Amino acid sequence: MSESNFGDASEEQVSGAAVLARALKAQDVQYMFGIVGIPVTEIAIAAQQLGIRYVGMRNEQAACYAASAVGYLTGRPGVCLVVSGPGLVHALGGMANANMNCWPLIVIGGSSERCQETMGAFQEFPQVEACRLYSKFSVRPSSIEAIPSIIEKAVRSSIYGRPGACYIDIPADFVNLQVNVNSIKYVECCMPPPISMAETSAVQMAASVIRNAKRPLLIIGKGAAYAHAEEGIRKLVEQCKLPFLPTPMGKGVIPDNHPNCVAAARSRALQFADVIVLFGARLNWILHFGLPPRYQPDVKFIQIDICAEELGNNVRPAVTLLGDINAVTKQELASKKSLPMNYYTVFYHVQEQLPRDCMVVSEGANTMDIGRTVLQNYLPRHRLDAGTFGTMGVGLGFAIAAAIVAKDRNPGQRVICVEGDSAFGFSGMEVETICRYNLPIVLLVVNNNGIYQGIDTDSWKEMLKFGDATALAPPMCLLPNAHYEQVMAAFGGSGYFVQTREELQESLRKSLADTTKPSLINIMIEPQSMRKAQDFHWLTRSNM
């Protein structure tokens, strides 16, 4: 501090109203709504002078609604400024509404002079007590000097944890009281709310419950809107192909016209879901308390909320994720990435890159069935599969024919051959034929280590400890982790072994870009991607 400041400033006085205004400004409060009168007019003037926008309203209730909507829309609380007694009472409706909505709000109420308390002062009313029921924090600063830290605490409380309303009572005698400027210490703007993340084990459990769901449903509430979680939730919906239902104010987090939006069949969606993920929505009357007959009695709820006390209300959840929705959604997306792929993830990424006019050849059991539902055809005679006779082993022959016909009649057209690992085995040596004639076919082997399903390497090894494979290996098993891509590499084509989404995307991009030679992408998926019960004891053992 400079010397001149020291000298003159010690005499300089500042009013309570000015201190309050500056404290609000320091906390980055930008909007104030209210109705002026004794004793708060000076507060409105001081705030406006500091650049806080002031909107004069006609009823305190409406002013409070307005201030709370600013809080929801901007993530920083608006202020509602009201006079003592009836002014404050009128504001209670707005405070209650904000607090029930979990929206940040600061209400500042003028109140009667401290020296007349209990004497029947003008508009005397127990305002701090009255507000307690409608707020997270309700207080009167003990002095003008205390105002900056109280304002900081109120703003911070309004946005930290579950957002809500905070009340600050300003006695009339504070407003014009002059204090020495040097006695006031302004408090730096509070930090943005800390971002809390859910427990890793809960994140993984949630991913597994969603993965095993037959009829999952995502409910998107206004908590998700407030959290700005739109990008992550959209990714989750699209990557996992999850249907979603917005609550009234959850609408628009993902556009209503998104193909996965089931709002038109709300009752059915709620009633038949077996797993419901709640993104910032409470199981209150709006969602029929999460109870039958509107829901399955055994529906599994996965609850994501920033408020621990909310978790478990009305229904016992299968998984609780305590944390910020935006952060938790990212955790879920990350955990999904580290999990092995399943058929749906594979075909989702394949579909993304397939040229519209490509020839799709497909065979296998699950590979062909699930592929048929996800991979799109836009043109006739552009799909060849196991056909009327349900023949396995047709794929490579069909692909070779398609590639030769394409070369003659449709130059540039790509041939994609999507094979299960078992189906590939029936004619795998035709890869040599493909390479000999240099047909730029893209061969995808969706590898689950078996026919219908297989087992993983560790279980295979565990099994061999109990005896010979001919005695113990489930008949549908093939050698786990077989490197089929090396068959292609052996004859000069490009071979890729992929285990993650990124590797799949990258190898597909390269294969489709290369028209000079064939490629084979060996795509490892979860061996029991389609599997429910565990029939073999070593599988159960190794999973323990």
Q: Under the rule (CB under 6 A), what is the footprint of ligand ADP?
A: 101-102, 162, 221-223, 226-227, 247, 249-250, 280-282, 284, 286, 305-307, 310, 324-325
Name the residue with tokens 């993965």.
Answer: 211
Kindly report the backbone phi and psi dihedral angles of residue 169, in degrees, each rounded to the nearest multiple of 5, phi listed first. Answer: -95, 125
User: Could you say which DSSP state residue 450 is in?
Assistant: B
**Which entry of Mg ion, ligand ADP, none binds 136, CB below 5 to 8 A by partner kind?**
none
DSSP reduced 3-state for 95: helix
**Which entry of ligand ADP, Mg ion, none binds 421, CB below 5 to 8 A by partner kind?**
Mg ion
Distance of CA 164 to the CA centre of its chain: 22
Nearer to Mg ion, 245 or 399 (CB): 399
Beta strands (DSSP E) in 193-330 are 216-220, 244-246, 275-279, 300-305, 319-322
Nearer to ligand ADP, 171 or 246 (CB): 246
Query: Taking the complex as a whole, how short is the minimal distance between the CB of residue 425 and Mg ion, in angstroms?
Result: 9
**Which entry of ligand ADP, Mg ion, none binds 420, CB below 5 to 8 A by partner kind?**
Mg ion
Distance CA 194, CA 27 (A): 16
Query: Taking the complex as a whole, how short is the minimal distance between the CB of residue 419 and Mg ion, in angstroms?
Result: 9
**Which entry of ligand ADP, Mg ion, none binds 76, CB below 5 to 8 A by partner kind?**
none
Nearer to Mg ion, 421 or 430 (CB): 421
Nearer to Mg ion, 158 or 366 (CB): 366
Nearer to Mg ion, 99 or 459 (CB): 459
Distance CA 244, CA 493 (A): 43
Query: How far, in Å, are 33, 63, 64, 66, 86 from residue 58 at the CA level?
Result: 10, 8, 11, 12, 13
**Which entry of Mg ion, ligand ADP, none binds 527, CB below 5 to 8 A by partner kind?**
none
Strand-by-strand arrangement of the 300-305 sheet: 244-246, 216-220, 275-279, 300-305, 319-322
Do residues 529 and 448 lie in contact, with contact meaning Cβ atoms separated by under 8 Å?
yes
Nearer to ligand ADP, 25 or 222 (CB): 222
| Footprint on this chain of Mg ion (rule: CB under 5 A) | 420-422, 448
Nearer to ligand ADP, 160 or 272 (CB): 160
Instruction: Quote the longest CA-to-CA distance of the chain.
Output: 104
Query: Taking the complex as a whole, how short is the minimal distance between the CB of residue 325 and ligand ADP, in angstroms?
Result: 4
Distance CA 152, CA 388 (A): 74
DSSP reduced 3-state for 3: helix
Output the CA torsion 86→162→231→344 (10° steps).
-130
* Residue 265 neighbours by CB under 8 Å, 6+ apart: none
Distance CA 203, CA 200 (A): 5
Nearer to Mg ion, 60 or 421 (CB): 421
Nearer to ligand ADP, 245 or 394 (CB): 245
**Which entry of Mg ion, ligand ADP, none binds 210, CB below 5 to 8 A by partner kind?**
none
Amino acid present at 153: K
Query: Taking the complex as a whole, how short is the minimal distance between the CB of residue 306 and ligand ADP, in angstroms?
Result: 3
Nearer to ligand ADP, 66 or 287 (CB): 287
Nearer to ligand ADP, 26 or 273 (CB): 273
Query: Taking the complex as a whole, how short is the minimal distance between the CB of residue 197 and ligand ADP, in angstroms?
Result: 11
Token code pair at residue 23: 């404290």
DSSP codes of every residue in 323-389: S-HHHHHHHHHHHHHHSPB-HHHHHHHHHHH--TT-EEEEESSHHHHHHHHHS---STT-EEESTTT
Query: Taking the complex as a whole, how short is the minimal distance between the CB of residue 220 and ligand ADP, in angstroms?
Result: 8
Query: Taking the complex as a whole, how short is the minimal distance between the CB of residue 527 and Mg ion, in angstroms?
Result: 9
Nearer to ligand ADP, 97 or 247 (CB): 247
Nearest to 31 by CA among 4, 63, 2: 63
Angle separating helix axes 343-353 and 501-513, nearest 10 degrees: 30
DSSP reduced 3-state for 90: helix
Query: Taking the complex as a whole, how short is the minimal distance between the CB of residue 203 and ligand ADP, in angstroms?
Result: 14
* Residue 333 neighbours by CB under 8 Å, 6+ apart: 232, 235, 236, 239
Distance of CA 427 to the CA centre of its chain: 44
**Which entry of ligand ADP, Mg ion, none binds 448, CB below 5 to 8 A by partner kind?**
Mg ion
Nearest residue to ligand ADP, by Cβ distance, number only: 223
**Which entry of ligand ADP, Mg ion, none binds 108, CB below 5 to 8 A by partner kind?**
none
Query: Taking the complex as a whole, how short is the minimal distance between the CB of residue 154 and ligand ADP, in angstroms?
Result: 18
Q: Omega of the bond prior to 39 within 30 degrees of 0, cis?
A: yes
Query: Taking the complex as a whole, how short is the minimal distance between the CB of residue 386 and ligand ADP, in angstroms?
Result: 47
Nearer to ligand ADP, 251 or 382 (CB): 251
**Which entry of Mg ion, ligand ADP, none binds 443, CB below 5 to 8 A by partner kind?**
none
Do residues 172 and 113 lie in contact, with contact meaning Cβ atoms separated by under 8 Å?
yes
Query: Taking the complex as a whole, how short is the minimal distance between the CB of residue 368 and Mg ion, in angstroms?
Result: 11
**Which entry of Mg ion, ligand ADP, none binds 456, CB below 5 to 8 A by partner kind?**
none
Write the Ramachandran bin of 57: left for phi over 0, alpha for psi from -120 to 50, otherwise beta: beta
Query: Taking the complex as a whole, how short is the minimal distance between the CB of residue 161 and ligand ADP, in angstroms?
Result: 8
Query: Taking the complex as a whole, how short is the minimal distance between the CB of residue 307 and ligand ADP, in angstroms?
Result: 4
